[in-house]
Amino acid sequence: MENTEIKVNLNDIKMQDGMFVYGDYVLAPQKNVFNGLTSWWLSKKLYIINVYTTSTQNGEKIFVEYAAKMFEQYIPYLETIYRKAVA
């Protein structure tokens, strides 16, 4: 992963249909039927790939502050993976 740092302003994160939206990026939950955990995946508009970020217990909510940290940590990773995939 590259050393690209971003700083997410909490006011720029919106909730929509149970997902966190930050610009063109979406942090979306996906329930795992095998272990009962909820996995959170980061994707970007027009990208055909996404990356796993974290898992939470069934019904456990993540808060906007935690979502901001996931965006900050995983957006550079997603961009790196995408650039390698299309190279």
Q: What is the pLDDT of residues 27-59, one digit of tens each?
A: 999 998 998 899 999 999 999 999 999 998 866
Residue 5's pLDDT band, with cuts at 50, 70 and 90, is confident
Its pTM stands at 0.88
Give the span between the Cα atoms of 71 and 87, in whole angstroms.
Answer: 24
How high is the pLDDT of residue 3? 57
Give the span between the Cα atoms of 27 and 43, in whole angstroms.
Answer: 7
Scanning the structure block, which residue is given the tokens 């959170």? 40
Give the span between the Cα atoms of 23 and 25, in whole angstroms.
Answer: 6
Residue 61's pLDDT band, with cuts at 50, 70 and 90, is confident
For residue 20, give Cα distances in angstroms to 2, 12, 58: 24, 10, 18
How high is the pLDDT of residue 37? 92
